[in-house]
Amino acid sequence: MTQAADIKKIGIIGSGQMGGGIAQVCAVGGFDVYLADISEDALDRAKALIAKRLGRQVDKGTLSAEDRDAALARVATGQAYEALGECQLVIEAATEDEDVKRAIFKELVPHLNKDALIATNTSSISITRMAAITDRPERFIGMHFMNPVPVMKLVEIIRGIATSEETFNTVRDLAIALGKTTAMAEDFPAFIVNRILLPMINEAVYTLYEGVGSVESIDTAIKLGANHPMGPLELADFIGLDTCLSIMNVLYDGLADSKYRPCPLLVKYVEAGWLGRKVGRGFYDYSGETPVPTR
């Protein structure tokens, strides 16, 4: 069975905000990384962003130039899944869409070493259900990093019903080796963080939808009234409104409780393509120097 000490090379599928961040943390932690994506442009952007973030760490004195160069040298990228056969662990970090993830796992499995572990960075989808379509449900686990990965300390570790104790221990030890603090969650919709966080965000959208307060008033009230570093609507834009809606739908479908019904205004923003910071418009417009509320 693969132990944490056996892991030398980590594959990451998906080079977006989460995948790129995971790749950076793994490379700084001394692991060789193969970052895979269907888009060469996305891989180029991810490599440039990793270099930029590591450069900022050097400027702040939290990372030496030598360690930055060594970390960058550990990151290889490509579109071919064949290279993932050299990895002892593969972390899937694609978009929060179960159909997309299932397609990835079906394509991935034939290329893997027989002892390789699979982790998914899903923030809400059933680990048990995804593990069941692979040839190794006992070696499949949820490893939910928080965004932005290089800054946030937490990793949720989620066991599926078939996940072995050895897999759990190996992945937990790896997360700790990456400098993260782990929280263990059971395999219920949205796990711990998003089970609590997303209904709060959804309720903030309802508060806006019902005219209780403006975008600015709601965010100011929660930042100063509850001592949160970001208001809930600002945070929703940071997460991505499409991701917020996806997680609320997982909660609503999985728990069959009307309290998880996505706010119609959240649905409307997603239908409009106003997905938050990543597209320049959500509950705020980010086209100028200072974000401006859109309602």
DSSP-derived 3-state class of residue 218: helix
Write down the catalytic residue from 15, 124, 126, 194: 194
Token digits for 224? 């100063």
Q: Using alpha carbons, list the distances in angstroms from residue 244 to 119, 142, 170, 175.
A: 22, 19, 30, 25
Write down the catalytic residue from 15, 123, 202, 246: 123
Write down the catalytic residue from 92, 96, 156, 234: 156
The phi-psi region of residue 203 (left if phi > 0; otherwise alpha if psi is between -120 and 50; otherwise beta) is alpha
**CB of 146 within 8 A of CB of 243?**
no
Is 39 designated active site? Answer: no
Write down the catalytic residue from 92, 124, 144, 246: 144
Is 194 designated active site? Answer: yes
DSSP-derived 3-state class of residue 200: helix
Q: How far apart are CA 123 and CA 101, in angstroms?
A: 12
Count CA within 13 A, CB hemisphere, residue 5: 0
Is 156 designated active site? Answer: yes
DSSP-derived 3-state class of residue 122: coil
**CB of 13 within 8 A of CB of 92?**
yes
Active-site residue list: 123, 144, 156, 194
